[in-house]
Amino acid sequence: MKVSVVGAAGMIGRKLVERLASDGAIAGTRVSSARLIDAIAPSTPPACSFPVACQTIDIAAPRAGSMILEERPDVIFLLASVVSGEAEADFDKGYHVNLDGTRALFDAIRQAHDASRGAFRPRVVFTSSIAVFGAPFPEEIDDEFFATPLTSYGTQKAICELLLSDYSRRRFFEGVGVRLPTICVRPGAPNRAASGFFSSIIREPLAGKEPILPVADSVRHYHASPRSAVSFLLHAASLDLTRLGARRNLTMPGLSVTVAEQIEALRAVAGDVAIGRIKRRPDETIERIVAGWPRRFNAERASSLGFKAETDFKDIIRAYIEDEHVALAA
Amino acid sequence: MKVSVVGAAGMIGRKLVERLASDGAIAGTRVSSARLIDAIAPSTPPACSFPVACQTIDIAAPRAGSMILEERPDVIFLLASVVSGEAEADFDKGYHVNLDGTRALFDAIRQAHDASRGAFRPRVVFTSSIAVFGAPFPEEIDDEFFATPLTSYGTQKAICELLLSDYSRRRFFEGVGVRLPTICVRPGAPNRAASGFFSSIIREPLAGKEPILPVADSVRHYHASPRSAVSFLLHAASLDLTRLGARRNLTMPGLSVTVAEQIEALRAVAGDVAIGRIKRRPDETIERIVAGWPRRFNAERASSLGFKAETDFKDIIRAYIEDEHVALAA
């Protein structure tokens, strides 16, 4: 099985590649080669049983499609995106990369299908986002709730979901759209995303640092670990598509918790000293932004198709500690 | 008020222009000029109190945007579309006109906004379609049901709805998306659209002809007259947008009736002889296509915003007879 990972240098992309390298297979089928593509130079995982080629190219560049498809991959993981904040700040760049870049790749696959080399209908696993939903919401969002995004990023993801479904219906490829919950705990330095505190209130105390919590403890949100995100993508790559039908985009299972529940889980895993490091500094701007975000999903369809996420926030914290080799601060 | 009608040569476009010419105003505001644009040469209505300019250009042509916007219209009615069957048969043409053409116009408005001529934020009334919905459905579709189109046409309309919302949220223009029910009774010759029989079983008997009914009498569908469609567009052009919020696309009210109820209404209006002309010839292909169509909507939101449609199919037939000056066949 030949695999292409588009957006291989991002946080989820790197973890996906590490997992592919360590498993050497997807759902029992051996990976024979991988091509890693990103606008930032991707790096080859250290121990890997299959050949890996790395290429640095923007998904929206004219030749990106033919480079991604050169070896006619069986599975394409499409993770490349301009992130939410940047897509909002730079309208043209967001649409250029997140919409035109994705569509150009979809069209390149379609055109490869018609070529003299014969049928070509790869599995395309597309990472979408719960940002396709915009307030007001019901308390719990079900699988048939409509997409009314309130950001350009969410709009671009919702449009790509529609394209993915139509191109799949037309049999140009076999698309599966994976709507990721907010990923928590994100490793690395704090970033300035409005959602950053959901991770930093866990990650920073474990490192002996003092994160700022800008919202009330009662704020509820919907999370999955990076480990679960990778498992979603791999499951989508091997899913029996006869069970999917025409509706190709799935809200992933996740864990709906309040900030208070996050903090209690941190106490259970790392003790009172850790949670004492969290500094409460209410920030009206962030509170207003977060108030427009979904709080809870009933991801029944994805669950029935075998997608699995954590059901206890302590497991999300433990996954972070294990996967990032965190030595707990005293 | 300066008005542009893009798609002015189509059936709804022509009726909209006739209504503008006869009213001379939209919701009490005088129309000062109109520009009619279509890929097929539009024609000026006979009696008209304001100057009308006609232009023949494809909406997807490079200069279309600047031609449409030349006089900085206050209201743009965007009706131009490749129809459903053609968008399905010609993938590239459908996306080129219905998606790229619409987006190019949206971008032309955005760029005109930034130009030295000052702020430009016209009302954009976009005609969408209930084709954004795809089976399976609940028996009645509410305003928050998700869009999972099963045609490329429906996909293109759903994508344009998302763009309309995002461009409106960004304050590039003031968009309102109007999801039309199936338009019935369509005037003119029978066409080969799968939905054509809904109109022909009314129109043809009134003209003394014998239409074919290819589905069971129990088939239920969702209709509005051309007259209502025009009233929807005009109401959308003058609607108080503070009542609309961020959710810019509205399923229009319509009338959900079975074929049997259509036929009974025809009997009430035109008698037993008329309905005796309908020939039942079940067609499995058409039955299968129609089975995937929505049957009933609860268009609560549009109704609460003042959009109105017929509530009795006899009124739909009478509107056809009046508007098309039909002399009933003996």
pLDDT in tens, A2-13: 999 999 999 999
Nearest alpha carbon to residue A19 among A43, A40, A48: A48
Q: Tell me the residue ranges of DSSP E strands in chain A.
A: 2-6, 25-26, 29-30, 33-38, 52-56, 75-78, 123-129, 174-180, 182-183, 212-213, 220-224, 249-251, 255-258, 279-280
Is B153 annotated as catalytic? Answer: yes
Average pLDDT over residues B86-94: 94
**What is the ipTM metric for this complex?**
0.95
d(CA B132, CA B157): 6
Q: Reduced to 3 states, what is the DSSP secondary structure of residue B79?
A: coil
Comparing B300 with A49, which gets the higher pLDDT? B300
Residue B114 has pLDDT above 90, yes or no: no
pLDDT in tens, A67-83: 899 899 999 999 999 98
d(CA B181, CA B79): 14
Handedness of CA B102, B105, B109, B115 (dihedral sign): positive
The token pair at B167 is 């461009």
Comparing B71 with B263, which gets the higher pLDDT? B263
Residue A245 falls within a domain, yes or no?
yes
- Find tokens 């070896």 and name the residue: A71
pLDDT of residue A121: 94
User: How many structural domains comprise chain A?
Assistant: 1
d(CA A176, CA A126): 6
Residue A219 has pLDDT above 90, yes or no: yes
Peptide bond into A185 cis (omega under 30): yes
Q: Which residues contact B28 (CB under 8 A, 6 or more apart)?
A: none
Residue A203 has pLDDT above 90, yes or no: yes
Percentage of chain A surpassing pLDDT 70?
Answer: 98
Residue B129 falls within a domain, yes or no?
yes
Average pLDDT over residues B286-302: 93
Please report, for residues A89, A92, A275, A317, B70, the alpha-carbon distance to residue A270 in angstroms, rounded to integers and kept in the order given: 38, 44, 8, 9, 66
Average pLDDT over residues B148-176: 97
Average pLDDT over residues B11-21: 96
Average pLDDT over residues A305-316: 98
How far is residue B198 CA from its own chain's centroid? 16
Residue B287 falls within a domain, yes or no?
no
CATH of residue B171's domain is: 3.40.50.720
pLDDT in tens, B72-87: 999 999 999 998 889 9
Average pLDDT over residues B290-296: 91
Q: Which residue of B has its CA nearest to A91?
A: B170
Q: Reduced to 3 states, what is the DSSP secondary structure of residue B2?
A: strand
Tell me which of A153, A167, A222, A320 is the catalytic residue: A153
Residue B186 falls within a domain, yes or no?
no
Confidence class for position A115, pLDDT limits 50, 70, 90: low
The reported pTM is 0.96
Shortest Cα distance, chain A CAs vs residue B85, angstroms: 14
pLDDT in tens, A250-270: 999 999 999 999 999 999 999
Residue A230's H or E segment, with its range, is: helix A226-238
Give me the residue from A91, A152, A162 closest to B155, CB to CB.
Answer: A162
Residue B25's H or E segment, with its range, is: strand B25-26
Q: Reduced to 3 states, what is the DSSP secondary structure of residue B90?
A: coil
Residue A198 falls within a domain, yes or no?
no
How far is residue A302 CA from its own chain's centroid? 15
Q: Do B155 and A149 touch (CB under 8 A)?
A: no
Average pLDDT over residues A302-313: 97
Using an 8 Å Cβ cutoff, are B211 and B278 in contact?
Answer: yes
Peptide bond into B73 cis (omega under 30): no
d(CA B223, CA B183): 6
Containing domain of residue B240, as a range?
A: 2-180+225-251
How far is residue B141 CA from its own chain's centroid? 19
Q: Reduced to 3 states, what is the DSSP secondary structure of residue A249?
A: strand
Average pLDDT, chain B: 94
User: For residue A322, which amino acid is it?
Assistant: E
Q: Do A146 and B144 touch (CB under 8 A)?
A: yes
Buried b (16+ CB within 10 A) or exposed e, B130-139: bbbbbeebee
CB neighbour class for A249 (10 Å; exposed up to 12, middle 13-18, buried from 19):
buried
Residue B30 has pLDDT above 70, yes or no: yes
Q: Do A247 and B144 touch (CB under 8 A)?
A: no
pLDDT of residue B46: 84
Give me the residue from A159, A166, A169 closest to B162, CB to CB.
Answer: A159
Nearest alpha carbon to residue A155 among A106, A86, A222, A99: A99
Give me the residue from A152, A170, A246 closest to B166, CB to CB.
Answer: A152
Phi and psi based region of residue A67 (left: phi greater than 0; alpha: psi -120 to 50; beta: remaining): alpha
pLDDT of residue A100: 97
DSSP class per residue in A102-117: HHHHHHHHHHHHHSTT
Shortest Cα distance, chain A CAs vs residue B231, angstroms: 26
The token pair at B276 is 């005796």
DSSP class per residue in A54-122: EEE--TTSTTHHHHHHTT--SEEEE-----HHHHHH-HHHHIIIIIIIHHHHHHHHHHHHHSTT-----
Set of chain A residues whose Cβ sits within 8 Å of the Cβ of B107: none
Percentage of chain B surpassing pLDDT 90?
Answer: 84
- Mutation to test the B interface, candidates A88, A110, A130, A159, most B Cβ within 10 Å: A159
Shortest Cα distance, chain B CAs vs residue A146, angstroms: 4
Nearest alpha carbon to residue A179 among A196, A157, A163, A162: A157
Nearest alpha carbon to residue B194 among B202, B181, B208, B182: B182
Strands B25-26 and B29-30: antiparallel
pLDDT in tens, B258-281: 999 999 999 999 999 999 999 999
Confidence class for position B117, pLDDT limits 50, 70, 90: low
d(CA A230, CA B260): 53
Please report, for residues A184, A221, A267, B196, the alpha-carbon distance to residue A255 in angstroms, rounded to integers and kept in the order given: 10, 8, 18, 49
Average pLDDT over residues B27-54: 94
Q: How many CB pairs under 8 A join A and B?
A: 52
Set of chain A residues whose Cβ sits within 8 Å of the Cβ of B155: 162-163, 165-166
Set of chain B residues whose Cβ sits within 8 Å of the Cβ of A155: 162-163, 165-166
Residues counted in chain A:
330
User: For residue B310, which amino acid is it?
Assistant: E
Give me the residue from B147, B150, B159 closest to A246, CB to CB.
Answer: B150
Shortest Cα distance, chain A CAs vs residue B114, angstroms: 14
pLDDT of residue B193: 78
Residue A117 has pLDDT above 70, yes or no: no
Confidence class for position B207, pLDDT limits 50, 70, 90: very high
d(CA A260, CA A96): 39
